[in-house]
Structures are given as C-alpha cells and as structure tokens.
Amino acid sequence: MANSPKAKKIYDYALDKYSRGESNRNVLDDMRSALETHLKEVLNNDKSLENQFSEVGKYLQTKGLSKEFVNMVITLLDYYAKYQNNHVKHNDAVKDEEVNFIIQLTSSFIQMFV
C-alpha cells in the first residue's frame, strides 16, 4: 500500500485494534475506511465506496482482466458496502464469526489495487 499511505495507516490501526480484541464494529468500520481511502487515492477521486463501482470496473478493465472477473469484483464490493451499512455503520450488529472474513476480503480488495 505504498501508493496510499493514509489508507495503510487506517488499515494497520484496524489490525492493531483487532489484535487487541477491541470492538469489532470499530475494526470493521476502519477496514471500510481504509478500503474507501485506498480507492480514492488509487482512482484519484473523492467518491464514497458505493459510488466507486463504475470507476473500479473501468480501472480493472484497463488491466486486461476478464469481464467475468470485473463483474465479480463489483458484485462483491456491492455486497461489502451493503454489509458495512446494514451491520456496521448504521447498526452495531457485527457477528464475531464474520469479522476475520471481512478483514480478509478488505485485504484482498486493497491488494488488487496495489
């Protein structure tokens, strides 16, 4: 994440919180913030996560990735954003069993744009 130091700082802080057993809601909120910040920096815009889908698609297409892969990533991002809004941001309803998966999914999204 050298190309987005602000996102790296948020991401590392979230992982630190997770390792200390702090609030899962805060950890996942920071993960979303890290991903959103990373996308803003890489795609050079100031759009929210929900408004990045078309930009993400265009970016991935320039990398020569298959249409199916690009569509899968956009679909996953859409579900990720909905999960964050419904279970993290507006309703502290995070299940412990879901936290590690969301962290790994966030990591995968970020890695794709490094």
Neighbours of 26 (CB within 10 A): 16
Distances (CA, A) of 46 to 15, 40, 50, 52: 24, 5, 12, 9
Q: Where are the domains of the chain?
A: 5-112
pLDDT at residue 3, as a whole number: 77
Predicted TM-score (pTM) of the model is: 0.93
State both tokens at 3: 């190309």
pLDDT at residue 90, as a whole number: 73
Going by C-beta distance under 8 Å and a sequence separation of 6 or more, which residues neighbour residue 97? none
Q: What is the residue-level pLDDT of the chain in tens, covering all 114 positions?
A: 667 899 999 999 999 999 999 889 999 999 999 999 999 999 999 999 999 999 999 999 999 999 999 999 999 999 999 999 998 977 777 888 999 999 999 999 999 988
